[in-house]
Structure formats: C-alpha cells, structure tokens
Amino acid sequence: MATLSFHSPSKPTSHFHLKPKPSPPLLAKVSLFRCRASVQTLVAVEPEPLFTSVNTFAPATVANLGPGFDFLGCAVDGLGDRVTLRVDPSVRAGEVSISEITGTTSKLSTNPLRNCAGIAAIATMKMLGIRSVGLSLDLHKGLPLGSGLGSSAASAAAAAVAVNEIFGRKLGSEELVLAGLESEAKVSGYHADNIAPAIMGGFVLIRSYEPLDLKPLRFPSDKDLFFVLVSPEFEAPTKKMRAALPAEIPMAHHVWNSSQAAALVAAVLEGDAVMLGKALSADRVVEPTRAPLIPGMEAVKKAALEAGAFGCTISGAGPTAVAVVDVEERGEEIGEKMVEAFMKVGNLRSVASVKKLDKIGARLVSSISR
C-alpha cells in the first residue's frame, strides 16, 4: 500500500513498504513544517495611545471544515469572546496585566504569560514597540474551553485587535494573525485555521505558514449559508485530539482529501452550499480518527444528513458537530435531531444553535478617547 509519510519539512514522499517504519508523534512532525520566527518590532516610532480604553469582540470559528486540516477555517456570527483594554499607570510600562476573567470558565490563569489573551496582547505590543505604557485587560469568555469553536483563538484575536486599536491601528490583519499565532502555539500548536478567520472574518485559506500567506475566500453575499452547531457537554482538548492523528496516511486518502479541499474552496467562491456540505463531509484522514473519541459523533453526523443537512463534520478538534444548510428554519430542525442523537447514542446533553457566517472578524465595539 502506498503511504504518504511526512519525514522532511519540505519534501513529503510516497513510497511502498511491507512493514510500517516507526514514526515520531504527529506533534513532533508538525513542528518540522512550521519554523516560526519570534515576533519582531514592526513600527519605527512607538505610537501613543489614542484611547484610554477599548472594547473588542472576536467571533467563534470552525476550523478544518472537514478536509482542510490546519489550512481552512471560517468565522461564525453571534458567538465569541470580548476584551476590555485600558491604559493603566499602575501597570509597569511595556507590560500587560489581566485584571478579571468572567464568563464560561473559571479555569483560566490571570498570568498574562499563561493566558491566550495575555500572550497575544504582549506579542502585539512588541510588534508596535510599546515600551512607555502599561495596559490592563479584562476578558469575558463567551466560548467554553475545548469546545471546537476556537475558544483560545477568540481570546487571542480580541486581545490583539484591542492593543492595535488603542494605539491607532498601526498593524494589518496578517500581522495580527502572527501575534495570535504566538498564543495558539503555546496552547494547542502553531496552526492558523482558527486565529486567521477570528481576526479576518469569513473563510480563510492558509496557503503557507513559512512565510505566512493567508487567502480570504469571499462567499457571495447574495447566497445563504447557515451553520448548525451542536455542542455536547464533553471536553475535547486540542492537544489530545491532535495526538490521536496518524503520522502516515495512504496516498489514496491524500489524493481524495486534496480533491475535497479543492471542491470546498470552489464551493465557497461560487456560493454553492450543497457542494460545500458534500466536501465538508468527505474527510478520510482526520475525522475517522477523532469521531470515535467523541461519544455519539458518528450517529450525530448520520442524523444530520438524514434530516437534510448538506454536510456534517467535527468543528475543529471537537466535540462540537457542525452541519451546513441554506435555510435557517431547516437548520433548527436538523439541530434538534443532532441533539437527540448525542443523547441517545452518546449519552451526552448538548445545545444546538444556527449561525450565519461572520464576515467581519475581530472588531472594535466601543472606545473612550483620551
């Protein structure tokens, strides 16, 4: 059987062998592909703050979208995290203090070096060359940890955008994604399929990590698209779910997934929700290894498709299931069937919601001028 083995950072090779060769874990191999440089100062003159405080919001995201593991993702409307950032004379110049964390979790550290929002804020300050002002940050979590909806990315995106806004919006979206990646790398790995759409909105294709090359994919505004999100009471830590992935895959699966990912991109650009759903459902590499780790997931997907969804897969690392439709009312009916399947087969309570595509990404909500 031909397999695709990732033994080189630049040259994946296909080969035939009778006995599988021992391979290092996937996470070790992923690091070979992503040799990231440390964040550099990008602004020649340190900017002064334009506001005493800002409030920002960053949306939830659906990463992978089936066959697009680590290189495709999109933002969804109505769910996300909020950050309030203030110029604070009591905080040492050039540093960030996290004053308060509220919302869906009490597990997060207020140490900025151990918090997604704090890490991203510090990285953004370094890019801006901030040395004479200290900042304090409040984080409101609208997304639970380990939900598969980009919880860490939403915190990082809201914080990075807040720092950029308070100093006059000197950085572009790709630079903010790099700041967010500093946070993601310490939490779940150096992957941008959550942080890029969280900051940029819409669908985003990551063409390359080194150098970072992001391609926004515009879904036509005259077409309808809804995501049915069903989140069970079950935590699926990203690192654990990534560790479950195979180090080698059959060449046939590589070809198949590449074809489905290309079809998914075409479907987004054409506004074809039916084709998008078909491609999203067709992953042969990641979903087959992760679905058995989420009680009831396979039954939930079956229930969604039987109820009329165009497609269904795991959102990010899970455990949230995501289905695609083009009529909101139909999405609500499908969500009910998915909730029933999670309870009946997985013995898990779950909550369903139907959301649109968020085309804006992380943004300023309000501000107070100096």
Q: Is residue 102 annotated as part of the catalytic site, yes or no?
A: no
The ranges of the chain annotated as CATH 3.30.70.890 are 226-356
51-218+359-369: which CATH number, 3.30.230.10, 3.90.226.10, 3.60.20.10, 3.40.50.12780?
3.30.230.10
pLDDT for 36 equals: 53
Architecture of the CATH domain 226-356: 2-Layer Sandwich (3.30)
Q: How far apart are CA 208 and CA 301, in angstroms?
A: 31
**Model pLDDT for residues 336-362, shown as the tens digit of each residue:** 999 999 999 999 999 999 999 999 999
| Active-site entry in 238, 287, 313, 320 | 238
pLDDT for 20 equals: 42
The pTM of the full predicted model, rounded to 2 decimals, is 0.88
| Active-site entry in 184, 287, 313, 320 | 184
Average pLDDT over residues 321-343: 98
Q: Is residue 238 annotated as part of the catalytic site, yes or no?
A: yes
**Model pLDDT for residues 71-116, shown as the tens digit of each residue:** 999 999 999 999 999 999 999 999 999 999 999 876 899 999 999 9
pLDDT for 38 equals: 63
Which band of pLDDT confidence, cut at 50, 70 and 90, is reported for residue 8? Answer: very low
**Model pLDDT for residues 200-222, shown as the tens digit of each residue:** 999 999 999 999 999 999 999 99
**Model pLDDT for residues 115-161, shown as the tens digit of each residue:** 999 999 999 999 999 999 999 999 999 999 889 999 999 999 999 99
With 50 as the cut, is the pLDDT of residue 12 above it? no
